[in-house]
Chains A and B, each alone.
Chain A
Amino acid sequence: MIKGLNIVYKTLIVIAALIGLGLSGLTYAQSNYELGTTLTPAQISALGPLKSFTVGTTTFRILAAGNRSGTYVINDQGKIGICNGEVLISGVPTDQAKRALSAYQASIVSTTVYDSLKMVSAKFSNLQEAANARNELATTLVGATLTMPITFNLPKVN
């Protein structure tokens, strides 16, 4: 009896340890995201189902974490980047860009016009809506360059 309890006890300890290890791995992934590093397939699987968005032909998955600069995402290779749901329009007059963005007013948090560069930036309430708007505008706003900035690496001094 005691021996049997001991086996059960030991088994429970092993299971608890395994769960703990798994959780610690997950916790590690969530709390130590560093731009440019790559999550392994196992680490990504441990995160469960992830929402995604597509920019052009590239799909990004959204990690449930972020910092003051945006939300962490991973690309096809599992590389970690950060995105703040901004869409940049350049290559067309800023008035034209602003008119095009008016169709997405309900999803836009703020708009900034950079007259000197002839660029317009619109920040959306979430990444998926930003990506959808970016992709639609890329086809409808002829001559414009549409960018949804995602930062994967920060520069260092040379």
Chain B
Amino acid sequence: MKKTVLFSLIILALITQLTSCSGGSDSTTISCTETGPYACQTGATEPLYTYQWALNAAQSYFAGYPPVADGTTDLNVEAVHAQGIKGQGVNVMVLDDGLEINHIDLKANINPAMTWNFQTNTSDSTPSGLNEAHGTNVAGMIAAAQNGIGVMGIAPRVTLGGAKFIGLTNGAIANVVEAYGGALWSKNTDVFNASYSKSYIVPIDYSPTSSVEIAAVQSFPNLRNGKGAVMVKSAANDYVDIEVKENGSFIYAATCPQFEYRGASYSLVSCANPSSDTVRLELPMIVTAAANAKGYKSSYSSAGSVVWITGLGGELGSLGNYGEAGSAEKNRGPQIYSTDLMGCDRGYSKYGESPDDAAQFLIGGSPINQEKNSNCDFSQMNGTSSSAPTVTGVVALMLSANPNLGWRDIRDILRRTARQMNPDYGNQNYRNHQVNLTLNPTLSDSTSTVLTDGATAARIDYGWQTNGAGNKYSNWYGFGLADAKAAVNMAKAYTVYKPTQLIVPIFDAGIKDSQVKYGEVKELGKFSVTSEKAMDMIQLGFQASKKATDEANNVCMGSVGIFLKSPQGSVSVLSTPYNVFYDKTSHAKDTRNGGKIGPDSIYVLGSYAFYGENPKGDWTVYAVSGTPLPTSECAANPRLTMDYRIYNAE
């Protein structure tokens, strides 16, 4: 009898324990083996957790402010944390403008053998600049510890490394190979975070023979003893314009044309295409867009067909006490709370900030700051710089749940578990209207998606599309918003691993000497593919055709949108007309000339929109071309030659 009672008590205790570890609204009971003072607990143990809407939107402070937050958009991480999966055993490397190694909310997770400073050539990655807080913010989003202090990262028990890699002075240039896994301090990295990029206002030549970054990323599959590492990379914040700077100072904004319709103007194109930084064409790069707390693309987030996934980055302006003021429609709303350079004399939260530019939480000495952030050790930051680490955190949770995942598996799981967001955006704000391809572009009343040779108007945004393999894709969101719970569950159940070798295909001849017609839709031609292997990315490489005479043949790619139709009928917009190469301001240093490419350079675009499709058959390439500015002096009747290559989905 006593034994029976004792047995019953043990069973009851076990059931109680299991129930306490079930995650939030999750109806299933999941065991938790985590130990320690915060075992199996969510970030609710942290004092600033209520502002971390990306981790728990429903319970966050901002859920009470519908104009800036919908109370549902988050990364679905609480159920994972409640399982005790918090990044244990995973090495994350933050390559950025530095990482404060003694930060009170980071140091518990920092491995001193995984830090480096390319400015000082020492292992202390702490930046010297008072405003170099970017990397410390990025790191906290991933890895701030669960300790009852400040905020909590998405993977609060991850092993953190970091480097002073960006913003070097006195002619120093970081050794990319060392940073990307070649050095002792970086070689054990499982996932890199790259919240940085190169922005271009003129097309650049695709030149893998001289790009150390491309060479290093193509070698990522060798890391992790052959399982391969990934790099989560920001898509950039250049949707509206590119801020051109010299020596860190703002010079001018490289803008793009607006589209007039019934007396108002609309911004229909992403000014910059993420593929302009050509390292984003590499498969181990997980290119990440940003969404805000309303579940909508952040106003600044660059869009394009190499975006893989969306993370959470918040909005442009965060005002009020914590970021609750204004509305998302006006590009206001909360950002991502994180760790800041410690002290009120440096970082993003500090003395002297203006309430016109910053929430009270960030203003050193303000009543809110004194109450919640008196040492200014925490702040909030927006941008795809913030959305990338939210995805890096999710990847760390996946690898913690299943360390055997290879780099392709990581991409695959993120893609398959991503949630479609904002499904009707392609029909909103006149995005579904055709654009008249005129000098001062306007919108027409037509919403037809048909591409007609010779037409002077065309749709330039197709919104979400379902491709021939049944995959939903959008240039704004990639495959959708990352979902930690779904990704971790799939990672745990994953047993059939993909090959990790990366085979870089050579370019095949596609279309030769096809004439572009500015102001018109022009079918450039077709190319035929015989392979039936399910595809990953397709890349198109363009050159201006050489002419037999000395006549100039440059093609103004600022005017030329490249649209590609697969044999299964899916259409992807690889570049839009009227992009950042097109425009020109009156600023003396605005050197844009229409985005000319000549016969000696290669302009490469890529697309994931056809992921999983059988590529066999005829592909059709369209040039949807606006009318160049007269000042661009674009050659008349230019011709393009195009090659292509297709990466297989292994």
**Residues of chain A at the chain B interface (Cβ within 8 Å):** 34, 38, 55-56, 58, 67-70, 75-77, 81-82, 88, 90-91, 114-119, 121, 134, 138, 145-158
Q: 1/0 per position for B273-315, CB-CB distance to A under 8 A?
A: 0000100000000000000000000000000000000000000
Q: Considering the chains assembled together, what is the distance between the CA atoms of A118 and B246 in angstroms?
A: 37
Q: Considering the chains assembled together, what is the distance between the CA atoms of A135 and B393 in angstroms?
A: 41
Known contacts A117-B219, A158-B384; 8 additional CB pairs below 8 A are A68-B170, A116-B223, A117-B223, A119-B177, A145-B218, A148-B209, A157-B167, A157-B195
Does B73 make an interface contact (CB < 8 A)?
A: no
The answer to whether B177 and A154 have CB atoms under 8 Å apart is no
The answer to whether A88 and B212 have CB atoms under 8 Å apart is yes
Q: Considering the chains assembled together, what is the distance between the CA atoms of A134 and B210 in angstroms?
A: 11
**Residues of chain B at the chain A interface (Cβ within 8 Å):** 96-97, 134-135, 166-168, 170-173, 176-178, 180-182, 187, 195-200, 204-205, 207-212, 214-216, 218-220, 222-223, 234, 236-237, 245-246, 277, 383-385, 388, 504, 591, 600-601
Known: A117-B177, A117-B222. A158 touches B196 (CB 8 A): yes
Which residues of A have CB within 8 Å of B214?
A: 147
Closest to B384 in A: A158
Closest to A58 in B: B207
Known: A146-B209, A149-B210. A82 touches B200 (CB 8 A): no
Q: Least Cβ distance of A25 to chain B in Å? A: 17
* A–B pairs, 24, beta carbons within 8 Å: A38-B591, A55-B209, A58-B205, A67-B170, A76-B600, A88-B212, A88-B215, A90-B218, A117-B181, A121-B177, A138-B209, A147-B214, A148-B209, A150-B210, A153-B198, A154-B168, A156-B197, A156-B245, A157-B385, A158-B196, A158-B197, A158-B234, A158-B236, A158-B383
Q: Least Cβ distance of B286 to chain A in Å? A: 14
Closest to B220 in A: A117
Which residues of B have CB within 8 Å of A134?
A: 209
Known: A117-B216, A147-B215, A157-B196. A152 touches B167 (CB 8 A): no
The answer to whether B204 and A119 have CB atoms under 8 Å apart is no
The answer to whether A147 and B211 have CB atoms under 8 Å apart is yes
Residue with the highest number of chain A CB atoms closer than 10 Å, among B167, B180, B200, B207: B207
Which residues of B have CB within 8 Å of A152?
A: 204
Q: Considering the chains assembled together, what is the distance between the CA atoms of A145 and B205 in angstroms?
A: 18
Q: Least Cβ distance of A148 to chain B in Å? A: 6
The answer to whether B196 and A119 have CB atoms under 8 Å apart is no
Known: A76-B600, A158-B385. A116 touches B222 (CB 8 A): yes
Q: Least Cβ distance of A47 to chain B in Å? A: 20
Closest to A145 in B: B215
**What's the count of A-B pairs with C-beta under 8 Å?**
123
Q: Least Cβ distance of B607 to chain A in Å? A: 22
Q: Considering the chains assembled together, what is the distance between the CA atoms of A34 and B197 in angstroms?
A: 18
Q: Considering the chains assembled together, what is the distance between the CA atoms of A123 and B386 in angstroms?
A: 37
Q: Least Cβ distance of A5 to chain B in Å? A: 41
Q: Least Cβ distance of B295 to chain A in Å? A: 21
Q: Considering the chains assembled together, what is the distance between the CA atoms of A119 and B246 in angstroms?
A: 34
Which residues of B have CB within 8 Å of A67?
A: 170-171
Which residues of B have CB within 8 Å of A121?
A: 177
Known: A116-B223, A157-B166. A75 touches B218 (CB 8 A): no
Q: Least Cβ distance of B177 to chain A in Å? A: 6
The answer to whether B173 and A114 have CB atoms under 8 Å apart is no
Which residues of B have CB within 8 Å of A55?
A: 209-210
Which residues of B have CB within 8 Å of A117?
A: 177, 180-182, 187, 216, 219-220, 222-223
Which residues of A have CB within 8 Å of B385?
A: 157-158
Which residues of B have CB within 8 Å of A34?
A: 246
Q: Least Cβ distance of A139 to chain B in Å? A: 13
Closest to A155 in B: B196
Partner of A147, one of B167, B170, B210: B210
Which residues of A have CB within 8 Å of B601?
A: 76-77
Which residues of A have CB within 8 Å of B215?
A: 88, 90, 119, 145, 147, 149
The answer to whether B198 and A157 have CB atoms under 8 Å apart is no
Q: Considering the chains assembled together, what is the distance between the CA atoms of A157 and B210 in angstroms?
A: 22
Which residues of A have CB within 8 Å of B176?
A: 149
Q: Least Cβ distance of B121 to chain A in Å? A: 11
Closest to A114 in B: B182
Q: Considering the chains assembled together, what is the distance between the CA atoms of A155 and B95 in angstroms?
A: 11
Q: Considering the chains assembled together, what is the distance between the CA atoms of A116 and B221 in angstroms?
A: 10
Closest to B313 in A: A158
Which residues of A have CB within 8 Å of B211?
A: 147, 149
Closest to A89 in B: B215
